[in-house]
Amino acid sequence: MSTERDILITEVALRDGSHAIAHQYTVEQVKKVAKALGEANVPYIEVAHGDGLGGSTLQYGLSRTNEMELIEAAVSVCGDSKVAVLVLPGIGTITDLKQAVSIGAKMARVATHVTEADVSAQHLSKAKEMGLETVGFLMMSHMAPVEKLVEQAKLMESYGADTVYMVDSAGALLPHQVKERVRALRQNLQVNVGFHGHNNLSLAMANTLAAIEEGAQRIDGSIRCLGAGAGNTQTEVLIAVLENMGIKTGIDLYKLMDTAEEVIAPLLQSPQEITRDNLVLGYAGVYSSFLLHAQRASKKYGIDSRDILIELGRRKVVGGQEDMIVDVADELARQRKAN
């Protein structure tokens, strides 16, 4: 593998990790984390509700703290690091994005389902007009053939994305599948290619390295694996691995390790590990942020959460259809009662 290029890391624990703690971040917690990440020279720190700007709703989960306060808090302490925000068209608005920019956000990551890139046009073009670094984020990339992924990525490129990510939202992809997809994107795009993985099948690190081997320049990680499902590629471990490979990130490994141990670990409600439910997310190809929703529905309806997740996977339910989780649980409960 070539080691002549650098890799730029985006730390997602203050956004993706919001799912793992039911969106309960406080201003003080975000300040502490963002300050430590800034001191470790992490180039980008993503801050938002788990489902992006405007995600604090009954359907997606109510935030403890207004996300604009969290973004402003991170900006105030992160030093030279840049704060990124995630926005899903249909949830987050241009007004939300403008407000985030006004308080210091420097990167907009516009996320859509892998087959729905066309809905990102306005958000990407407006973000570009506002002077932001722009990222197209193609979620649930395992659900489309390679040709479709390339087609959708080229749309995002045409709308103004500086980078296009293939996102393994379910942690369902295998390394050879990641390689095939990243290779195709590199061959067909002029802009940077990124990768965002989840660890539901214990493959986040392997998949990330596969992406880098095929030329991905932008990589996401979550410190201490603090992310939806079983978490993302563990940032401090990734930095250690890349250093051993001779790939530069500019991140201070010792400071990042200390942050993981002393700042992040106390925030975890439970260790980020591959539980039976996390495993089923990857096995069934289900959106990682569905985990807590499925567990709540399991308790309410007396249905094994694994059965709920398997059925969601069978129906190819995607992000934005969280209401289907309750519907599926209710339907399964009725079927069991009828039998």
What single DSSP character describes residue 320?
T
Segments of 130-217 assigned E as strands: 133-139, 163-167, 192-196
CA distance 131 to 59: 32
* Cα(284)–Cα(265) distance, integer angstroms: 29
257-287: burial string, b at 16+ Cβ within 10 Å, e else: bebbeebbeebeeeebebbebbbbbbbbbbb
Cβ contact 136:164 at 8 Å:
yes
Token couple for 159: 């709308």
List the binding residues for substrate. 15-16, 169, 196, 287
Q: Which residues are annotated as a binding site?
A: 15-16, 169, 196, 198, 287
Widest Cα–Cα separation across the chain: 63
DSSP for residue 42 = -
* Residues contributing to the annotated binding site for Mn(2+): 16, 196, 198
Beta strands in the chain (DSSP E): 8-11, 44-46, 82-87, 107-113, 133-139, 163-167, 192-196, 218-221
Burial class of residue 2 (count of CB atoms within 10 Å of its CB; 0-12, 13-18, 19+) = exposed
Angle at 180 between CA 128 and CA 159, to 5 degrees: 15
Q: Are 164 and 138 in contact (CB under 8 A)?
A: yes
Tokens 């709703």 belong to: 57
Catalytic residue status for 142: no
Residue 89 backbone class (left: φ over 0; alpha: ψ -120 to 50; beta: rest): beta
Angle (CA) 12-156-148 rounded to 5° is: 100
Q: What residues act catalytically?
A: 19
